[in-house]
Structure 1
Amino acid sequence: MTRFRPGLCSVTFRTLAPRTVVRLAAECGIAGIEWGGDVHVPPGQPDFARHVRRLTEDAGLSVISYGSYIAPPSDDEQAFATVLETAQALGAPNIRIWPGSRNRDSATYSPDERAHAAALIRRMARLADAVSVTLGLEYHPNSLTDERASAQRLMAEIDDPNVFLYWQPRPGLPLDEALDEFRAVGSDTSHVHVFAWDREKTRYPLADQRDYWTEILTNAPATRWPGERFAILEFVRDDSPEQFRADAAVFRQVLEEVQLSEEDKARPPGAA
């Protein structure tokens, strides 16, 4: 049975200090935070990472992941070693990375370029595994995971048990297609990014896509991911804390409904 806990990507509020992000998340019933490496927890600053970890844990929240901006093959193992050190200081059990050069479609890669990226990710995965940290590949347009076939091929090329896929639908992806895609890659997925956008990336209240996300999370496929699983809110309308408060309330209701649905499925026939 899949149980998602509510999370927040700190990059949703890049202009807010970590202390303020923690307070907002705790106020809204969020259970954990994925801390971004671009603003809130820069790589190479382990003392500050330990400070953010204390802020998070003192509020009763989990550090879900370190949202790094490592992008192999643009970034090498030396850059990853700095990120890994920072993730450990942060207490992050997972590091999110971008597979491939940023803002490059998977269709433009030659077989040799793909093989090089996969080999780099595999070596990073081995470094991370040595300190009990997992890797999650961003599932995103303009990357080596920008569509189902390329994502599946990349995971086969990497062929490492310490590498997982984050999953999120491409903005505006119809529900039937999103469900088919999630089922196809689901066994390799860890966490799920949740947002309410359309194809033009216009943002909406989560309430507008409540039924969409209820269907997706209710039908989440089985996964080999061994840890706690989070559905992680990101990028609310207007970057507004007030919109986030409203979205978080809807989000928690959706997760409660999903949990009840899962419990109903697991109950033996005829049980009360």
Structure 2
Amino acid sequence: MKLGLCSVTFRDKDPEQIIDLAVKAELDGIEWGGDVHVSPGEYQKAEQVAALTVARGLEVSSYGSYYRLADHSGNEYDFITVLETAKRLGAPAIRVWPGMMGSKDADENYRKKVVTDAINIADLAEEEGISVHLEYHDHTLTDTKESATKLMEEISHQNVFIYWQPPNRVTIEERLTSIEMVKKWISNIHIFHWLSFHERLNLASGAKEWQNYIELIEEDGKERYVLMEFVKDDDERQFLQDAKTLHELKAMIK
């Protein structure tokens, strides 16, 4: 279990500032986001950010792309460009979004398009030794535990995994059930504690809840990153406090 930071947590900071924060928080790595810090096609910048990250003793945990499976109208770049950027960044994993439509609105034809695209990009990434990871997120085909399970079974590809994060507006018990259902595909974890994106809480107040989630996921013994994503008031001090809580969680789970 390694600890990291998603660069999208601080979209207003440059890569050097984000690296400084990650080092100060004694984290292991950074997931660099494709929307601000390392956009697809910025190959020289990707190489520069990779060098800066490694020079400070950190790893590039992953590339947080905004590639949308099946809905290419929502993608500014094709996957080949995303993949090449991840290569230049030295990222072993690429995060993608499973469509642009929630499971209640998606018909079987749409689901098939998402599945086909996932398999295609997984094959391409596998040739480069890079894995593909789906967001577990609202307004996509992983917005419920049932839809996420069905989607992963339909994709059925050895190079496709899921990033787990707690779904909104459900109980702790339902979240634990969601982990049980998709557990065999869970790779990295996005950690945050909030009531909604606009009602964020400090991580310490959700530490016990998160201990339950991580302990259940960690039963498989796989190496993974727990990546901090968004903090209360986008505040650096809160981030450092949350990072301390994350270190305490790791110590309890060992």
TM-score after normalising by structure 1: 0.89
- What are the superposed Cα offsets for residues 16-48 of structure 1, whole Å, 9 maximum, x if unpaired? 000000010011011111000000000001110
Aligned position for 2:88: 89
Match of 1:55 among 52, 55, 59: 52
Aligned position for 1:159: 156
Match of 2:29 among 32, 55, 61: 32
Q: Is 1:127 aligned with 2:136? A: no
Distance in structure 2 (CA, Å) of the matches to 1:223 and 1:108: 33
Structure 2 unaligned regions, length at least 5: none
DSSP-derived class of the 1:107 partner:
coil
Distance in structure 2 (CA, Å) of the matches to 1:200 and 1:50: 32
Distance in structure 2 (CA, Å) of the matches to 1:200 and 1:24: 22
The Cα shift of 1:123 comes to 0.3
Aligned position for 2:179: 182
The amino acid that maps onto 1:139 is Y
DSSP-derived class of the 1:123 partner:
helix
- What are the superposed Cα offsets for residues 148-199 of structure 1, whole Å, 9 maximum, x if unpaired? 1111111111111100011011135322211111111111110011001115
- What are the superposed Cα offsets for residues 28-80 of structure 1, whole Å, 9 maximum, x if unpaired? 01111100000000000111000000111011111010000000112289700
More strand per residue: 1 or 2? 2
Deviates more, 1:46-55 or 1:210-219: 210-219
Aligned position for 2:249: 254
Aligned position for 1:265: none
The amino acid that maps onto 1:82 is T
DSSP-derived class of the 1:68 partner:
strand
Q: Is 1:235 aligned with 2:230? A: yes
- Structure 1 residue ranges, 4+ long, deviating more than 4 angstroms after superposition: 221-225
The amino acid that maps onto 2:79 is F
Aligned length in residues: 252
The Cα shift of 1:234 comes to 0.7
The amino acid that maps onto 2:35 is D
Distance in structure 2 (CA, Å) of the matches to 1:71 and 1:224: 30
Aligned position for 1:70: 67
Distance in structure 1 (CA, Å) of the matches to 2:88 and 2:46: 6
Distance in structure 1 (CA, Å) of the matches to 2:204 and 2:219: 26
Aligned position for 1:266: none
Match of 1:244 among 211, 232, 239: 239
DSSP-derived class of the 2:67 partner:
coil
DSSP-derived class of the 1:161 partner:
coil
Whether the 8 Å CA contact 2:28–2:58 is kept in 1: the answer is yes
Aligned position for 1:269: none
Aligned position for 1:267: none
Deviates more, 1:164-173 or 1:141-150: 164-173
The Cα shift of 1:94 comes to 0.3
Match of 1:113 among 110, 114, 117: 110
Whether the 8 Å CA contact 1:99–1:145 is kept in 2: the answer is yes
Whether the 8 Å CA contact 1:182–1:221 is kept in 2: the answer is no
Distance in structure 2 (CA, Å) of the matches to 1:174 and 1:232: 22
Deviates more, 1:104-113 or 1:245-254: 104-113
Aligned position for 2:192: 195
Whether the 8 Å CA contact 2:63–2:93 is kept in 1: the answer is yes
Whether the 8 Å CA contact 1:8–1:25 is kept in 2: the answer is yes
DSSP-derived class of the 2:51 partner:
helix
The Cα shift of 1:201 comes to 4.5
Structure 1 unaligned regions, length at least 5: 260-272
Distance 1:190 1:134, change over 3 A: same
Match of 2:137 among 131, 134, 140: 140
TM-score after normalising by structure 2: 0.95
